[in-house]
Amino acid sequence: MKKCFIIILLLGVFIQELRSQQLLRLDFPDYKEDSIRFLPKRPWVAATEIWGLNMLVWIGNRYIANQPYAYIDFTTIKDNFKTEPVWDTDMFSTNMIAHPYQGGLYYNAARSSGYNVWQSATFNVAGNFMWEYFMENEYPSINDMFTTTFAGVELGEISFRLSDLFIDDRSTGSERIGREFLVTLVSPMRGFNRLISGDSWKRRSFKGQSVRSVPVAFGANLGPRFFTEQNNSSKGSMSMQLNFHVDYGDTFSEEGFSLYDWFKLRAGVDFFSYEPLLNYVNVIGALWGKPIWNRGDQTISMGVFQHFDYYDSQLSSKSIGTVPPYHTSEVAALGLGILYGNPAVKLDKVDFYADFYLTGIALGTSVSDYMKVGERDYNMGSGYSLKFSSKLTYNKHWSMSMNFENYHIYSWKGYSPDLDLDAVDPRTFNYQGNKSNSCLSVLSTNFVYNSSHKWNIALSNRRFLRKTNYKYEPDIGYSTFDLMLSLGIQL
């Protein structure tokens, strides 16, 4: 309950700030149009913060949570350097969300200390290396190296750019306090660096942002969600879900787009249910792109995109099943994308948008129907994903969108069917999981009415279809769905 009210309160502050005219307005005629501030490079500040962050997390694990893996000494460090990295047995949310977030903190320690994307990525790698080899008595983890570095860079740069929206060094008083609070909320390391450098209260004649201004759209919806563990079942659970999305950058800019100056972020948080608090996260960030075709008002852009996707579910205490409907993610993924836009102009009342992505997955996950070792009940592997979405808007008020996602994960390093999982030491269980290939398809439909006053009402439905083929076990098919009615705001 406390988490719910805290998050809703913070979201309210977030939305209120976004509604401020000065926050999202892209032109300031009374000030220099180019107010980009180049941050001074401070390598020792970044390195010290990364070291301090790792020490702080270790102290919490060792002396507060009393975690067994936090008991380290010179012997454990020496063993880590003698042992090849393994596939660990941590829980799904730890590996696929907590580690990417931690990587984002490493990244932002450097990014907010004056370094560019590529330079900040090297600090991320260094922070991850320190953690894996020095701060745990468990062997270094292959999957953590992927999630902390690759996903950490993407989430880190996105949080850096979002925090940049709130910076306005011309502001004073309560407005300045609110802005600095939001900077720290979105990017803790940047907020901390602004505090220790004095930038949090210094007043300048320009905004002092570090990234050039681009179009930004933010939306949030809150409403009841019905979720059933079986597609054909009339029984299910009710929860309250908060969804939000951010569209950052100009999709069809004539100049195209480069590293992360265009991205989409979607996330959902569940309250008052047995479902995980963080229900899903979808991120697509552009590494490079440009328009390749124009005809009238129609435009097609093509680019290279990095993807981060996370879907989590959990069984209720009354469930007759033993396996969650899905644990699926792609945390290290890269591929091509094509985007089509035909906006409504003049007397035309129809606005249409569509995109398609084909992505190679270096590291992804799928739920396991047979394996449970330590806290791990999912398989890891590599594969590919396909995504297609379309949105049609009529007269700026009525819209319908459809989204299709398909994740196909192959677990290459499986274990023998003769292995007794109950007798396995999680520390030495060095497998991607069951020898299998798993396909999860997510089909979403959304109907939205947008008012002229920025609020909207939406009806949404998602279907999750999973089919897993096992080498040593019977194949499994699983189908489930959810339905949500929500009120929202679009900025």
pTM as predicted:
0.91
If you average pLDDT over residues 326-333, what whole number do you get? 96
> What is the percentage of the chain residues whose pLDDT exceeds 70?
92
Residue-wise pLDDT for 426-436, tens only, equals 888 999 999 99
Q: Report the pLDDT averaged over residues 305-319.
A: 90
Structure tokens given for 399: 């819209």
The band of 231, judged by pLDDT with boundaries at 50, 70 and 90, is low
Does residue 303 sit in the same domain as residue 154? no
Residue 289 pLDDT greater than 80, yes or no:
yes
- pLDDT of 130 above 60: yes
- Based on the fold, state whether residues 159 and 229 are members of the same structural domain: no
Number of domains observed in the structure of the chain: 2
Mean pLDDT of 140-168: 96
168 in the same domain as 254: no
d(CA 182, CA 163): 7
What mean pLDDT is predicted for residues 348-362?
Answer: 95
* Residues 151 and 269 occupy one common structural domain: no
HEC per residue, the chain: CHHHHHHHHHHHHHHHHHCCHHHHCCCCCCCCCCCCCCCCCCHHHHHHHHHHHHHHHHHHHHHHCCCHHHCCCHHHHHHHHHCCCECCCCCHHHHHHHHHHHHHHHHHHHHCCCCCHHHHHHHHHHHHHHHHHHCCCCCCEHHHHHHHHHHHHHHHHHHHHHHHCCCCCCCCHHHHHHHHHHHHHHCHHHHHHHHHHCCCCCCCCCCCCCCCCCCEEEEEEEEEEEEECCCCCCCCEEEEEEEEEEEECCCCCCCCECCCCCEEEEEEEEECCCCCCEEEEEEEEEEEEEEEEEECCEEEEEEEEEEEEEEECCCCCCCCCCCCCCEEEEEEEEEEEEEEEECCCCCCCEEEEEEEEEEEEEEEEEECCCCCECCECEEEEEEEEEEEEEEEEECCCEEEEEEEEEEEEEECCECCCCCCHHHCCHHHCCCCECCEEEEEEEEEEEEEEECCCCEEEEEEEEEEEEEEEECCCCCEEEEEEEEEEEEEEEC
pLDDT at 115: 96
For residues 181 and 273, membership in a common domain is answered with no
Per the prediction, the chain carries an average pLDDT of: 91
In a domain, 203, yes or no: no
pLDDT at 234: 67
- How many CB atoms are closer than 10 A to CB 158? 22
- Burial (CB < 10 A; 0-12, 13-18, 19+), residue 98, is middle
> Is residue 138 within 8 Å of residue 428, measured between CB atoms?
no
User: Residues 119, 241: one domain?
Assistant: no
In this predicted structure, what is the pLDDT of residue 319? 75
C-alpha angle 465/471/477, rounded to 5°? 20
Residues 184 and 57 both lie in one domain: yes
Average pLDDT of 183-190?
97
Please state the rounded mean pLDDT for residues 34-58.
92
Query: Which residues span the domain enclosing 368?
Result: 216-490
Whether 251 shows a pLDDT value over 70: the answer reads: yes
Least Cα distance to 138 among 58, 66, 69 occurs for: 69
Nearest Cα residue to 283 out of 336, 328, 246: 246
CB 276 within 8 A of CB 314: yes
Residues 244 and 392 in one domain: yes
Is 204 within the bounds of a domain?
no
Instruction: State whether 294 and 192 are in the same domain.
Output: no
What is the C-alpha to C-alpha distance for residues 463 and 406, in angstroms, rounded to an integer?
12
Indicate if the pLDDT at residue 18 is higher than 70: no
d(CA 121, CA 406): 29
Lowest-confidence segment of 15-19, 40-44, 85-89, 353-357 by average pLDDT = 15-19
Predicted confidence (pLDDT) at residue 2 exceeds the cutoff of 60: no
HSE-up of residue 96 (Cα within 13 Å, Cβ side): 30
**pLDDT reported for residue 29:** 35
Q: Are residues 293 and 403 in the same domain?
A: yes
Q: Is residue 211 part of a domain?
A: no
Kindly report the CATH number assigned to the domain that includes residue 397.
Answer: 2.40.160.40
Does residue 11 fall inside a structural domain?
A: yes
Q: How many CB atoms lie within 10 A of CB 81?
A: 9
- The whole-angstrom distance between residue 448's C-alpha and the CA centroid of its chain comes to 24
- Across the range 290-318, mean pLDDT stands at 93
453 in the same domain as 336: yes
pLDDT confidence of residue 464: 95
pLDDT digits (tens, 9 = 90+) for 395-421: 989 999 999 999 999 999 999 999 999
Last residue of a domain, one of 168, 197, 226: 197
pLDDT at 475 over 70: yes
**Is residue 294 over pLDDT 60?**
yes
Task: Give domain status of residue 206, yes or no.
Answer: no
Whether residue 344 lies inside any domain: the answer is: yes
Query: Residues 129, 227: one domain?
Result: no
Report yes or no on 222 lying in a domain: yes
Domain boundary among 167, 197, 227: 197
Which of residues 193 and 255 earns the better pLDDT score?
Answer: 193
Q: How far apart are CA 334 and CA 337, in angstroms?
A: 10
